[in-house]
Amino acid sequence: MNLFRSEEHIERWLGGRAPGATIPVTTLSDLAHAWWDDRVAPDWRPHTRDGNQAILDRLGLTGPFWRLPG
């Protein structure tokens, strides 16, 4: 789960491996803020699988790659 300067850098880094998913850093920031916002709250409770999937869905991170295990 890395940051890159461009698609060209990603392709070169992959070196022929099958790519995963690439998203803009702005979407990553939105994802991180939705996912981790409550993580150090003193009354934190575990997220549900469906709650986490809803975060991904809301940001357009849909399809098999972004499908959490059931």
59 is a contact residue toward another protein (CB under 8 A): no
21 is a contact residue toward another protein (CB under 8 A): yes
Take residue 68 and report the two structure tokens written for it: 């959490």
3 is a contact residue toward another protein (CB under 8 A): yes
16 is a contact residue toward another protein (CB under 8 A): no
In the block, tokens 């709250």 appear at 41
Take residue 32 and report the two structure tokens written for it: 């991180």
Query: Nearest distance from residue 51's CB to another protein, in Å?
Result: 14
How far lies 1's CA from each of 12, 25, 57, in Å? Answer: 16, 12, 19
Instruction: Kindly list the residues in this chain that would bind another protein in the complex (CB under 8 A).
Output: 1-7, 9-10, 12-13, 17, 19-46, 56, 64-69
